Amino acid sequence: MDPRNRWQRLGWAVPWLLFQVFPVADLVSTPRPALVQVVAAAGLVAFTVVYLGIFGQVFGERRDWPRVQLAVVAVLGVGLAVWLGPAWAGLMIYVSAAASVGLPQRWVWPAVVGAAGVCAGVLAAHGVLGEVFILPVMCVLTAFALRGMRQLISVNSELVEAREELARNAVAEERLRFARDLHDLLGHSLSLIALKSELAGRLAERDPARARQEMADVEAAARRALAEVRDAVSGYRQVSLAQALAEGRSALSAAGISLRARAPGRPLPGPVDAVLGWVVREATTNVLRHSGARSVTVTLRAGDDDVRLTIADDGRGGDAPAGTGLCGLAERVAAVGGRLDHGQGEGAGFRLTASVPLSSPVEASPVAAP
């Protein structure tokens, strides 16, 4: 435990020790038997130690009610005040302070009123209530002050916990985003590298020139993947629809799959263009990995309020369940207010459709082309 925190917590209690001037002065100046002096001094020391302990517990890591300590403070305070007279009646201010910070709300004010009553009773019994009427009033005022202070500390603690929770959520969200980005980036690039490497191996003997070209493409894809991963780590990576279509055409062509598509005629808003680029990338990766398709058609239709991108193949995908890639892609699309649908295409194959709202009207740009 940090010692500074311990002293800071006790700092809330120390200012009220000012009222112990009166019992200490009475202990020194009033002639009493030695045994009485010793017992009174020991009782005052024990009272003070337990009182400070209540504040250390209430404002420390433990938040349970200090029942035993409160009982000790109450018994010692009442006993010393009744036994030794008006100079010790100020101890009831400490009892009131301890009750205000250590008891549940429903018990605070009965305890405070009781402490003020004992204080007033001791003063009245010795005929000095009119002279030091401020002491019972101080019992109530002290309780108000410390109760408000405890409420402020409690609210501040909740705000700190909420801020820490928000920070943890932000870190978790960033980790999920980064994992999704790496999956999308490396899944596509590594699939392309594996495919072209396999093709180069088959061509190595019968067409060395074509094999060298394929290996050059592998090198280029690996360098591009490395650059994209670096950009993703830096947080500046962006994928455009046109770029994703060009990369998809290259990857699918190497696998003997035709891609019927063309880039949009007019630029789309940045976030829309980026998310549609990720849709094309994920769809291309899934076609290469799972579909067994021979052709892929990409269609983009933009209206006044939204844009719809559909990617369909003629493979064996059918109504496949969503994997990690599609789940991450659905999160991307949902983040810009869109929706991702997938299922069996017309007749056969797999169809992936992303509908994304536009921030400004964009004219229709069909991209299905022979």
Q: What is the pLDDT of residue 265?
A: 64
Whether residue 349 is predicted with pLDDT greater than 70 in this model: the reply is yes
Per the CB < 8 A criterion, the answer to whether 289 and 317 are in contact is no
Top pLDDT among 148 and 92 is at 92
DSSP 262-318: ---SSPPPHHHHHHHHHHHHHHHHHIIIII--SEEEEEEEE-SSEEEEEEEESSS--
Structure tokens at 271: 């976030």
- 26-80: per-residue pLDDT in tens? 888 888 898 999 999 999 999 988 888 887 777 655 556 678 888 999 999 999 9
DSSP secondary structure letters along 137-156? HHHHHHHHHHHHHHHHHHHH
Q: What is the mean pLDDT of residues 116-130?
A: 88
The per-residue pLDDT for range 178-232, each reduced to its tens digit, is 777 777 767 777 777 888 888 888 888 888 888 888 888 888 888 887 777 766 6
Nearest Cα to Cα of residue 274 among 173, 184, 141: 184
Quote the CA–CA distance of 330 and 317 in Å, as a whole number.
18
pLDDT attached to residue 237? 54
Q: In whole angstroms, what is the distance from residue 242 CA to residue 273 CA?
A: 9
Residue 306 pairs in a beta bridge with 357
- pTM value is 0.46
- Is residue 336 within 8 Å of 247, Cβ to Cβ? no
Q: pLDDT confidence of 322, banded at 50, 70, 90?
A: low
Sequence spans of domains, the chain: 3-165, 240-370
More confident site: 231 or 318 = 231
* pLDDT over 50 (residue 303): yes
Across the chain, mean pLDDT equals 79
pLDDT band, very low/low/confident/very high, at 361 (cuts 50, 70, 90): very low
Q: Are 232 and 181 in contact (CB under 8 A)?
A: yes
pLDDT in tens, 234-290: 555 567 788 888 888 878 887 788 888 866 666 788 788 888 888 888 888 888 877
Q: Which of 104-118, 229-243, 305-319, 354-368 has the lowest mean pLDDT?
A: 354-368
Could you tell me the fold of the domain covering 240-370?
Heat Shock Protein 90 (3.30.565)
Q: What percent of the chain has pLDDT over 70?
A: 83
- What does the pLDDT read at residue 287? 84
What pLDDT shows up at residue 220? 82
Q: Token digits for 140?
A: 């109530």
Q: What is the mean pLDDT of residues 76-91?
A: 90
First-last CA distance in the chain:
73
pLDDT at position 46: 92
What is residue 1's predicted lDDT score, i.e. its pLDDT?
Answer: 42
CB count, 10 Å around CB of 308? 18
What one-character-per-residue DSSP string does 32-75 give? --HHHHHHHHHHHHHHHHHHHHHHHHHTSS--S--HHHHHHHHH
Distance between CA atoms of 101 and 149, rounded to whole angstroms?
9
Is the Cα torsion angle 61, 149, 14, 114 positive or negative in sign?
A: negative
pLDDT, residue 323, reads 62
